[in-house]
Structure 1
Amino acid sequence: MDKELIVQLMQWHEDDEHQKIVDTLMEIPPEDRDYEVISSLARAYNNLERYEEALEQFAMIAEQGQNDPLWHYRMGYSYYYLNRYEEAVNVLSIAQDLDPDDEYTAMLLNSSQRKLHKEQQAAARRAVREQHHDSGTAATPFEGMDLTGFWDDSDYAVREYVSATPTDELIASVEEELGYKLPASYIHLMKQHNGGVPNTTCFPTEDPTSWAEDHIAITGIMGIGREKSYSLCGDLGSLFMIEEWGYPDIGVVICDCPSAGHDVVMLDYRNCGRDGEPEVIHVDQENDYEITFLAQDFETFIRGLVSEDEYDTSQEDKEEDLRKVAVGKFSPLLTELSSSVTEVDQLEQKIRKVCTRIVEVKGHFHFHADELSTLMYDVQFWLYTNSYPNTSRQQYLDVYEKMIAFGGEFGQGGYAPGWISDWLDGRIREGLIVQDNGVLSFTDQARSEVIAWLEAEAAEEDGAPFKSQSTKR
């Protein structure tokens, strides 16, 4: 390739204009394409997620690429994203031998090896399962297990998770909506206590996840129903997590986690069909929806839950979050917004007081769908639109993370974007936030009630979310 074209291709690559690279290089007659042209074309296909086409191009220069670590790395990249992990490991191992100091190769090789190991473990489990397919009469679910004291019926748990005992008709309709037959052990447990927060919330793992090196944690178990947000068909239930958060459509989300949506526990029906006995898995959005096997069935998962005391960091984490909300420095944006407020005295201290109560209730600093979190969603919107009165919906969603979610010292290190947009749309439907030519703002009454609610909660009074204007009529 001539130097001018190389410079142009590099610029397009930096600008993510990969289709322009493909279109330009495809204009070169096949007989005139050299090693560099084909390699660049294959890389562009990789970046367009057209991995099979990339492999076709790499195959054309296989002989020339045998001593090129970059050729092996890019081949491995294609294989990895096609879930062909054994082939990825093979070529990436060669790439590492050719260039031992390349950190990208090392990272992709490590990830490929980990996923290959998980595939091999899954294959071994399937083989065992097939051997024991005819296991005779099933035992009564949870036979011999004392479930007394299993549930933590705090006010929060009862309010957010627990529903009435499900009828057979409700179970059938939920199964139809989800498209999967629920495990008998799950139904048995839900008929005794329909959703909730267990006292034991951790499950050991052999493989590390974004949560911890040796275990995952759950916030609660979703019940059978539609009314509670944290029920299977609730507004934050299984279908929401799959359709809005992009979790794989391979089963049913049954547990949410403390990460505020960035990992979940699911029933996995891939190996048993929609009417079979699913395995239980952890799905990690933070690591490209990586799947980690937890248990062969729901009952085994429940029996395997252990106390967070086993892992000894929860108290330290809570204490660190309490320190963070007490003295952590506000983000530049939150500092700017707070300084312009005249209606509330000692605003910073009041925000810290509410966030301290959130940590005390939950044990960690994350906003979910509870009342105090809703207050903080409202407060942030009030502060931002007070300083920037011409804010559009998208502008607010784009800037939200700069206040507290990724607020540095006084921050959470993550948030659930779907929950923010749902909160905003809900406030608009209630008439508390109005739109005028695309500009959003609280009504005067709603604004006053947010301020009053903040004052009440900061004073540790019994606060309650303000009602919609339609309810007050």
Structure 2
Amino acid sequence: MFEGFDFTDFWEDCEYAREKYVSDPPSDELIASVEQELGYKLPASYIWLMKRHNGGIPVNTCFPTDVPTSWAEDHVAITGIFGIGREKLYSLCGGLGSRFMIDEWEYPDIGVAVCNCPSAGHDMIFLDYRECGPQGEPKVVHIDQEYDYEITPLADSFEDFIRGLVNEEVYEPDPDEEKAENLDLVRTAPFSSLLAELCRKSGAPEAAERWIRDIAEQIVEDKGFFALHGDKESWLLYDIQFWLYTNAFPGVTEQQYLEIYPQMMVAADGFSTGGYAPGFVEDWLKSRKKTGEIQKKNGGLFLSESAKAELEGQLHQVCRKG
């Protein structure tokens, strides 16, 4: 088995791996009882490997794919490999093992779940016995709960799967390339429907769009990517979004605004932060209310006149820099 394959430094024997995955080498009796419980004969290459290291977390945790999955466009990732046994949480017959994923998470009963993934159960690696039968040599597939349990073939055998694992560093984006892509995004990508509507109702649509894109571009220049946090430029973008929204829809309450906020950028198909951390927006709003820059009248929020004047000055300064 695994002729010519170097298992030196294959396993990452951290404390978590030893606690959750790694068991003593399985006896022939244990292997037979696990196979009987699962209803499938385990591959010889898998048994060979488990007798030398029974479960664990490999150093290389990614496997290339030709099609996108919920994890990535060109690969899947695993968290660990289940060992043969029952005692460890992540073992074939453990608490979160193969039968649990089939019975409780409703994965298709096509074989044996052999690896879990970083999605905490929302995708899994299975030994697939559909073609070979319960006593044959299974293929290895990825099953994606997020895509209605879509099955993606990975390898013709468990040995091929192990040989094909690569390090996650292979898929780490180039910082300069990522920055260039994000700059192009904030310069040209279409706004969400809500953000576009707010710009149209501002009275100066082109200026409003230019302000947003210029601020976003400055954020990308500083961070290398577009994301809103608690920094000065992020707060400036929070300010202009609030200004535009209350101009278009006066009388919005705090709760209403926080509920509608994600639709401005996060829900966009193009120009988008790609995620949403409500704590940053809530902190910004709390601070602006405390300083009186955002005030309340008849239950609705609005930007004070002095805050409007200061914001316009900041925006013109940003555009001059751009």
- The TM-score with structure 2 as length reference comes to 0.55
Cα distance, 1:408 vs structure 2: 4.8
Cα distance, 1:409 vs structure 2: 1.4
- Match for 2:151 among 278, 288, 291? 291
Kindly indicate whether the alpha-carbon contact (under 8 Å) linking 1:325 and 1:410 is maintained by their aligned counterparts in 2.
no
Could you tell me which residue of structure 1 aligns to residue 277 of structure 2? 409
Kindly indicate whether the alpha-carbon contact (under 8 Å) linking 1:181 and 1:276 is maintained by their aligned counterparts in 2.
yes
The question of 1:253 aligning with 2:113 is answered yes
Could you tell me which residue of structure 2 aligns to residue 177 of structure 1? 37
Residue identity matched to 2:172: D
- Match for 1:241 among 89, 96, 101? 101
Q: What pairs up with 1:32-431 in 2 under 5 angstroms?
A: 141-313=1-173, 408-409=276-277
Q: Residues 167 and 211 from structure 1, CA distance in 2 versus in 1: closer, same or farther, beyond 3 angstroms?
A: same
Partner Cα separation in structure 2 for residue 176 and residue 312 of structure 1: 41
Could you tell me which residue of structure 1 aligns to residue 186 of structure 2? none
Kindly indicate whether the alpha-carbon contact (under 8 Å) linking 1:199 and 1:307 is maintained by their aligned counterparts in 2.
yes
Q: Residues 306 and 325 from structure 1, CA distance in 2 versus in 1: closer, same or farther, beyond 3 angstroms?
A: farther
Kindly indicate whether the alpha-carbon contact (under 8 Å) linking 1:324 and 1:410 is maintained by their aligned counterparts in 2.
no
Partner Cα separation in structure 1 for residue 15 and residue 102 of structure 2: 28
SS of aligned partner of 1:174: helix
- Name whichever structure is richer in helix by fraction: 1
What is the RMSD of the two structures over their aligned residues, measured on CA atoms?
2.7
Aligned length: 189
Structure 1 residues not aligned, in runs of 5+? 1-140, 328-406, 412-473
Q: Residues 233 and 214 from structure 1, CA distance in 2 versus in 1: closer, same or farther, beyond 3 angstroms?
A: same
Q: Which portions of structure 1, spanning 4 or more consecutive aligned residues, are displaced by more than 4 angstroms?
A: 313-316, 323-327
Q: Which has the higher relative contact order, 1 or 2, with Cα contacts under 8 A spaced 6 or more apart?
A: 2
Residue identity matched to 2:102: I
Q: Per-residue displacement from partner, 1:108-166 (whole Å, max 9, x unpaired)?
A: xxxxxxxxxxxxxxxxxxxxxxxxxxxxxxxxx11110101100001111111101110
Partner Cα separation in structure 1 for residue 41 and residue 173 of structure 2: 37
Partner Cα separation in structure 1 for residue 118 and residue 173 of structure 2: 14
Cα distance, 1:236 vs structure 2: 0.2
Partner Cα separation in structure 2 for residue 325 and residue 241 of structure 1: 37
SS of aligned partner of 1:280: strand
Structure 2 residues not aligned, in runs of 5+? 179-222, 232-274, 280-322
State the percentage of identical aligned residues: 67
Partner Cα separation in structure 1 for residue 160 and residue 278 of structure 2: 39
- The TM-score with structure 1 as length reference comes to 0.38
Could you tell me which residue of structure 2 aligns to residue 6 of structure 1? none
Could you tell me which residue of structure 2 aligns to residue 48 of structure 1? none
SS of aligned partner of 2:277: helix
Q: Per-residue displacement from partner, 1:357-387 (whole Å, max 9, x unpaired)?
A: xxxxxxxxxxxxxxxxxxxxxxxxxxxxxxx
Cα distance, 1:324 vs structure 2: 9.7
